[in-house]
Structure 1
Amino acid sequence: MSALLRQRFPRLYRLFKPGLLTLLIAGCATVGVGLSADELFGKTVITDRRAEANSSQARHYRQDIRPILENRCVVCHGCYDAPCQLKLSSPEGIMRGANKTLVYDGTRILASEPTRLGIDARTTEEWRKKDFFPVLNERSQTAEINLQNSVLYQMLTLKANNPLPAEKLLDDDDFELGLNRSQQCPTQEEFAEYADKHPLWGMPYALPALSNDEYSKLTQWLKDGAALAADLPLPDAIQAEVEHWEAFLNQDNLKQQLTSRYIYEHLFLASLYFSPEPLFRNQQPINRPEYFFKLVRSSTPPGLPINPVATRRPYDDPQVKRVYYRLLRDSSSVVAKTHMPYRLNNERMDWIKALFIEPEYKVDYLPDYKPETAANPFIAFSQLPVNARYRFMLEESEYIITGFIKGPVCRGQVALNVIDDHFWVFFVDPEMHKDPDYSQFLIDQSDHLRLPGEAESNSGIITNWLRYSSLHNEYLDAKNAALAEKFPDGNAVDLNLIWPGNNSVSTRKKQSSSGAIQNANAALTIFRHFDSSTVVKGMVGQHPKTAWVINYSLLERIHYLLVAEFDVYGNIGHQLMTRLYMDFLRMEGESNFLALLPQEERVRLANYWYRDASDSVKQHLVSYEKHILNDPAISYHSQNPQAELYEKLRQHLQPVLEDKYNLARRITPQELNILSRVNRVQGQAATLMPEISLLLVENMQGDSQVFTLIRNSGHSNLTGLLYEEENRLPQEDYLTLVPGIIGSYPSAYYRVSSFRLNDFVSAVSGLTDEDDYEKLADRFSVRRTDPQFWTHSDQIHQWYLRNDPLNAGLLDYNRLENR
């Protein structure tokens, strides 16, 4: 085609850049010559582009192409919220292509069909039937047509020929930014019109273009047919581990089958890896593990190829005689917002055996998969020991809580505006749950502990809300009555209620004479960043407004509500019911914390946390029953019992507290003197800062340190559904600065030399309006329009991988600001 145009229209050919010529050709089928796509480019033939693992094509993809795609493309195209559902993090996602349907559609009346990569379709042909269209050429495989018929190439070329404007800020008339921007998702046939309407909307969208070298490499790769790479064979040692674990998980006895079902329903999101390093010790691997796996249900047993069972939820009926739990290799790019590492080794297997297999108890039957059974873990797993279930979650509580942050709600304001922007979490000591009466209590209350997931993905709101509200109130009444019977005078409640971070007795017995392992999962900090959130170990940051104390039943319900049963493809009723029910669970956790305070302080805090909320909400938080009026057996001596309790808890947990995010232990005294001032910024100056900022500080020796600057937003209460802004209290906003990287969605980047650190902190502290912020950004930010943006981005990712190799992943740029 190119040669034909050059021959017939030589002057026109010389006028156009090669990329613009491609766009002209692409439009021929719809605007000019009346030729069909088949006549222009040949018939569609879908092939598997994955070259043999050891071939030169595969090596070229792994070494030269994949790094460009990861660092320039996957940073926007790596989760459910990837624009146009285009996931470029794996060969399967690249071959699948794009789709115009929004996953995050908060208005759908009926649930939509899931489109989870690797689950809901197995081949490119099947994805085409689900309205996914190619971004690579699937017609005649010639060099010219490979470019002319590739949406990916056209997008890159559109940007190359129309770079970002030279201004420091993008014009709102030229670009739509933010997660709720409209998505165009042009097909090959629609691209000419798209390019004509939006010449600045090439890829990477609203970011600097690729370098000449990167563009050249991708162009040549596409021209040569865009070969991808099959996985290299697993090393023998890793394959042996896979077989060892699959053999363990798929034993025939009922006790093992029920245990494996429980494990799967809690680990199906985990990024599993093999490492001999001890469990529960905060020892980081020197390098990122090379191989990750997903635990899946398969219709085929170990030894045969994995055939994943495609169900909406991990507990849905698999429609097969028996499921087998298999370890499916996950070779996709490691993306921070979905990466949840979980270590497997012999110690882990011994731990699971000690919890579930070795104790004497009987499993007489396997529960069915009916929603009213499977959606209620207190019914489905009633035969498993309560203490074993609690220990399984508790001793990896960071992973469990992270599930509702990085799982199906990787973008979830509806689910996340039910929690405060900054709070601490503590846990009830498992010794409190060893009483057989507690197990029987949960069995007796199983109907009252039902969750909205049993209504599946097409849920009504009003009737279900009334039903589950009534059930939860009945559970709380029963719980309070049980507590009154167990602690008749109230004075038995003290700090011994709080888990101190010791592990299972069976695990401790296997430790050296140095003593039991200390588990840093005993205290967690949650930071919410509007529609995303982060969980880290330790009591990080300033004293928060609220805190939770979580027991087994609460932890289990949080997991099932927000992870196991949450369906991102569900209708609006399902998603709102999830948010409404989470109100109950938040208040239950807060109420447990309040039980450690004097009654007068409980009432004061309830009124403070729920300003402008109804009296019924406050009463729900603080029970005024006589048995709760008694004060705990904790002595308070200050005028601020809440702050005093925080410090008592810190002392109680001191041996296990994670100090990874302790500013004082990561920087010099001089830097601490400067940077600690950031943690005193409140009110308007804090409000003007972005949700999450990453600050890179370089010293005179060329060394660098990265800090996360978090804005915590104040609210009068969190009971309002879908009108969060009406409850905002900007005067209560404050900043928290921590060493390292927290969060997956940076809003802004700052780069500061150490000798200008004081200037940066003074500028942040002195913010009064948007003009001040613009001046700060002019001096210190690396804006999305900065020609050095990609260089800075690479430096951040390299620092992340070097300093936190287990947790490091590609950050997401869909929330970058334009200020």
Structure 2
Amino acid sequence: MKNHHILALAWVILVSGCSLLSRHALDEQYGPADPKRFDAMRAPLPGLAFRRDVQPILERRCVVCHACYDAPCQQKLTSWEGIARGSSKDRVYATRLREAQPTRLFADAQTASQWRNLGFSAVLNERDASANLAASVLYRLLRLKAQHPLPAGSILPPSFDFSLDRAESCPRIEELDAFERENPFWGMPFGLPGLTTAEMSMVTRWLEAGAPFEGMPPLPKQVEEQLDQWERFLNGDSLKQRLVSRYLYEHLFLAHLFFDNDAQRHYFQLVRSRTPPGVAVDLIASRRPYDDPGVDRVYYRFVRERETVVDKTHMPYALGAKRLLRWRELFFKPDYAVDELPGYDPDAASNPFTTFRALPVRARYQFLLDEAEFTIMGFIKGPVCRGQVALDVIQDRFWVFFVANHGVAQARDEFLDRQAQFLRLPSEEGSNARIIGPWRRYAQLEEKYLQEKSAVLTRYALDDNRPDLDWIWKGEGVNPNAALTVFRHFDSASVVKGLLGEPPKTAWLIGYPLLERIHYLLVAGFDVYGNIGHQFLSRLYMDFMRMEGEFNFLALLPLDRRREVRDYWYRGADEDVKNHVYGSLARLDVDSAIPYLSDDPLPELYAMLRKHMAPVLDRRHELTGMADVDLRRDLGTLAALRGPALSWLPEVVILRIDQPARVPAYFTLLRNTGHSNVTSLLREGRNLLPAENSLTVVSGFIGAYPNAIYRVERSRVPALTQAIAGLAGETDYRALADRFAVRRTHPDFWPISDALQDEHLQREPIRAGLLDYGRLENR
């Protein structure tokens, strides 16, 4: 053992020495690095524009893996500033005992030299201009791929690790010589084909010129005028306006805001600033949107989005004359007073039912309902939802409905103030939370809330208000946000408007207290840089959110069938868990007013809900509207597959169908994994029910992280269905992939990728962003 430690120490000294020697050699040849070299944009060269010539290449070849919090080595290539920032050996998604220093681009540091002080290393040359290529990590990793293309074979060897929690190398420039010798096939793009000669030539020319950047183009005058109008609205001096603006900000801080009459769709973020409109923004970079800003007066300002739009974080939200009128109607037309502004004490600020008590509940809820998909998308596309542990709290597919903002909502308003103490959230513990003690306390608070809610709901229902379809919001007959489908893809998730697929195993009925808590638990209150205690408390509390949504939905079923359905949803779960869904803690001993005609009420209820919501259903992803009847039939046969064979299929597959004399058609195959229940935190495998696996086939694209791309001729769709139905192991799947998959190693991978990315952006010009290839399989 002693010798082992000596050898290990010697290796550390050797590696450190090599790094020092490499740095020393670079310094001798090119001079010392100047961390301030890219603190300002470098003047562009005539005929060479970053945004026109270089950025499109980086977006389609590099950003598809290097964006957001899960960018390898925190290397974000979504903007010039992200490239200048460089990379870090520290991981954002990590199990840590103490909170980490936030490293949000454009927020936690503003210049390259500031990022160096936070541990980031340069990927551009920061030495003499003669080293613009030799001392550029970015160039040398691209060159490494050009010199060493992917090894022969359709499947890459095990040395290519694509797992979610894989080790990351993140070589600094002084470590790069050794990295190239030891990993000659690890050039960039990692595990994908390299750039074309023309692409490499353009990027090389740009890097050789010193990575110049011409800056962002000026905003159109019309957009500037609208920004000024909205900032005036958000920064009124009255206490009412200041409280309303705080509420709006805490729900929109992740949004990509745009003006509905802006044909170019410039995106903006809403931020807190120390400075008022008319003065440059002085950003308040707090961990959470409700943290103490440290100033007497906060101003809400718009900053321009400078990064490439990627699907995994893109949350568009339209502003315009109708939106402004709607917000005035909701928050300023009602007669109420705001006598004082709430503070930012964590216990109160983390609890929206305390902070915003003065604002009408009906207004708050309707604000969330108007863009319910966006509200739910916060915990789907926000930083919380990454990894299996974060997502095993939800079923693989379920439908979402909302309690109507009238009738039963009145019963909610009458007791919500009294329940605020029971609706406290774990986020008040901060980013260095403990688990056991706080967890018991929040579990007890939830139990008290469920008991009070059950009592109030029972009294309301007994007063000739038994549960029926009128309890469900219909979007005023025009709003498609009234019905949503959520898909879980094991370690990522998606939410879309509409009721997609066959009737699901479960559904949620969400009212205001639940919708607001989901947002403050997993969006406003979640810190991706928090410790393991904070992360686990958030995950554990989300169990309660799921169970409450399911309880609300069960109330629509006949009284004598609710426990039976609950038991089916929670096969193998503890009785204590079931009681949170429907039982001694959560109960409604009043029968439904819905006239059921069959002995199987759940499918009947789903059918009634489809009909009930028909006027507002978004059908863009449904197969029923396809003009090609034969293809619709064949895809319907594919979607009807069930059982263990689907266990071998990836979670999300983009299916390209090539048709003679027609443009390719694109669909998404979504595997829905069967579970006995979803209450297990770390042992999900024990709850899998392969016999209950199912497949949803939709038109277009769902899922920001495709796991596979299939390319099939129209005539071979039945053959694909037959191959999937016959899967019994990895050998079978490899044979399927040999016939239909566009693997990472495919010689036409990038042209095929470009075509599907273009189709995605053209189909959904507002909703779509670049898809991410970080989870593409290697099978």
Deviation at 1:718, TM superposition (A): 1.1
**Preserved CA contact (<8 Å) 1:489 1:627:** no
Q: Given the two structures, how large is their TM-score scaled by the length of structure 2?
A: 0.95
Deviation at 1:463, TM superposition (A): 0.6
Q: Which residue of structure 2 lines up, in the alignment, with residue 234 of structure 1?
A: 219
The counterpart of 2:369, out of the listed 383, 389, 394, is 394
The DSSP-based 3-state class of the residue aligned with 1:467 is helix
Q: Which residue of structure 2 lines up, in the alignment, with residue 700 of structure 1?
A: 660
The DSSP-based 3-state class of the residue aligned with 2:474 is coil
Whole-angstrom distance in 2 between the partners of 1:113 and 1:562? 19
What residue ranges of structure 1 are gaps of 5+ in the alignment? 1-26, 278-286, 503-516
Deviation at 1:683, TM superposition (A): 1.2
1:189-232 Cα distance to aligned partner (Å, 9 max, x none): 11111112111111100111111111111111111111123111
Whole-angstrom distance in 2 between the partners of 1:351 and 1:518? 15
Deviation at 1:257, TM superposition (A): 0.3
Amino acid at match of 2:237: D
1:572-629 Cα distance to aligned partner (Å, 9 max, x none): 0110000110001100000000000012321111111111111111122113589723
The DSSP-based 3-state class of the residue aligned with 2:423 is coil
Answer yes or no: is 1:456 the counterpart of 2:430: yes
Q: Which residue of structure 2 lines up, in the alignment, with residue 326 of structure 1?
A: 301
Q: Structure 1 residues 432 and 119 mapped into 2: Cα distance closer, same or farther (>3 Å)? A: farther
Instruction: Report which stretch shifted further, 738-747 or 440-449.
Output: 440-449
The DSSP-based 3-state class of the residue aligned with 1:77 is coil
Deviation at 1:464, TM superposition (A): 0.8
Q: Which residue of structure 1 lines up, in the alignment, with residue 533 of structure 2?
A: 573
Answer yes or no: is 1:341 the counterpart of 2:329: no
The DSSP-based 3-state class of the residue aligned with 1:378 is helix
Q: Which residue of structure 1 lines up, in the alignment, with residue 180 of structure 2?
A: 195
For residues 78-97 of structure 1, the aligned pairs below 5 Å read 78-97=67-86
Amino acid at match of 1:786: H
**Preserved CA contact (<8 Å) 2:645 2:727:** yes
Q: Which residue of structure 2 lines up, in the alignment, with residue 126 of structure 1?
A: 114
Whole-angstrom distance in 1 between the partners of 2:65 and 2:386? 13
Whole-angstrom distance in 1 between the partners of 2:499 and 2:587? 31
Whole-angstrom distance in 2 between the partners of 1:627 and 1:265? 33
Deviation at 1:296, TM superposition (A): 0.4
Q: Which residue of structure 1 lines up, in the alignment, with residue 13 of structure 2?
A: none
Answer yes or no: is 1:363 the counterpart of 2:338: yes
**Preserved CA contact (<8 Å) 1:461 1:577:** yes
Whole-angstrom distance in 1 between the partners of 2:19 and 2:735? 48
Q: Structure 1 residues 80 and 91 mapped into 2: Cα distance closer, same or farther (>3 Å)? A: same
Whole-angstrom distance in 2 between the partners of 1:801 and 1:760? 27
Whole-angstrom distance in 2 between the partners of 1:519 and 1:615? 39
Amino acid at match of 1:763: A
The counterpart of 1:292, out of the listed 262, 267, 276, is 267
Q: Which residue of structure 1 lines up, in the alignment, with residue 37 of structure 2?
A: 47
The counterpart of 2:202, out of the listed 217, 221, 225, is 217
The counterpart of 2:715, out of the listed 740, 755, 778, is 755
Answer yes or no: is 1:642 the counterpart of 2:602: yes
Whole-angstrom distance in 1 between the partners of 2:595 and 2:126? 73
Deviation at 1:432, TM superposition (A): 2.8
Whole-angstrom distance in 2 between the partners of 1:34 and 1:402? 45
What number of residue pairs does the alignment pair up?
763
**Preserved CA contact (<8 Å) 2:579 2:585:** no
Q: Which residue of structure 2 lines up, in the alignment, with residue 546 of structure 1?
A: 506
**Preserved CA contact (<8 Å) 1:38 1:44:** yes
The DSSP-based 3-state class of the residue aligned with 2:657 is strand
Q: Which residue of structure 2 lines up, in the alignment, with residue 556 of structure 1?
A: 516
Q: Which residue of structure 2 lines up, in the alignment, with residue 280 of structure 1?
A: none
Amino acid at match of 2:242: Q
The DSSP-based 3-state class of the residue aligned with 2:377 is helix
Q: Which residue of structure 1 lines up, in the alignment, with residue 624 of structure 2?
A: 664
Whole-angstrom distance in 2 between the partners of 1:495 and 1:117? 46
**Preserved CA contact (<8 Å) 1:293 1:328:** yes
1:676-723 Cα distance to aligned partner (Å, 9 max, x none): 011111112211110100001121114111100000111111111112
Whole-angstrom distance in 2 between the partners of 1:532 and 1:526? 11
**Preserved CA contact (<8 Å) 2:639 2:697:** yes
The counterpart of 2:128, out of the listed 128, 132, 140, is 140
Deviation at 1:454, TM superposition (A): 0.5
Deviation at 1:488, TM superposition (A): 2.1
Instruction: Report which stretch shifted further, 115-124 or 450-459.
Output: 115-124
The DSSP-based 3-state class of the residue aligned with 1:447 is helix
Deviation at 1:439, TM superposition (A): 2.8
Whole-angstrom distance in 2 between the partners of 1:743 and 1:482? 39
For residues 722-741 of structure 1, the aligned pairs below 5 Å read 722-741=682-701
Q: Which residue of structure 2 lines up, in the alignment, with residue 714 of structure 1?
A: 674
1:348-378 Cα distance to aligned partner (Å, 9 max, x none): 1111110001221100011000001100000
Q: Which residue of structure 2 lines up, in the alignment, with residue 16 of structure 1?
A: none
Deviation at 1:75, TM superposition (A): 0.4
The counterpart of 1:158, out of the listed 137, 144, 147, is 144
**Preserved CA contact (<8 Å) 2:39 2:113:** no
Deviation at 1:332, TM superposition (A): 0.9
Identity %: 50
Amino acid at match of 1:479: K
Q: Which residue of structure 2 lines up, in the alignment, with residue 102 of structure 1?
A: 91
The DSSP-based 3-state class of the residue aligned with 2:395 is coil
The DSSP-based 3-state class of the residue aligned with 1:219 is helix
The DSSP-based 3-state class of the residue aligned with 1:487 is helix
Whole-angstrom distance in 1 between the partners of 2:483 and 2:180? 52
Q: Structure 1 residues 605 and 720 mapped into 2: Cα distance closer, same or farther (>3 Å)? A: same
Amino acid at match of 2:90: T
Q: Which residue of structure 2 lines up, in the alignment, with residue 260 of structure 1?
A: 245
The counterpart of 1:806, out of the listed 766, 772, 775, is 766
The DSSP-based 3-state class of the residue aligned with 2:68 is coil
Q: Which residue of structure 1 lines up, in the alignment, with residue 644 of structure 2?
A: 684
What residue ranges of structure 2 are gaps of 5+ in the alignment? 1-15
Amino acid at match of 1:525: T
Q: Structure 1 residues 453 and 304 mapped into 2: Cα distance closer, same or farther (>3 Å)? A: same
Whole-angstrom distance in 2 between the partners of 1:751 and 1:721? 37
Q: Which residue of structure 2 lines up, in the alignment, with residue 375 of structure 1?
A: 350
Q: Which residue of structure 1 lines up, in the alignment, with residue 53 of structure 2?
A: 64
Q: Structure 1 residues 34 and 236 mapped into 2: Cα distance closer, same or farther (>3 Å)? A: closer
Whole-angstrom distance in 2 between the partners of 1:626 and 1:267? 32
Q: Structure 1 residues 237 and 775 mapped into 2: Cα distance closer, same or farther (>3 Å)? A: same
Whole-angstrom distance in 2 between the partners of 1:606 and 1:524? 21
**Preserved CA contact (<8 Å) 1:291 1:331:** no
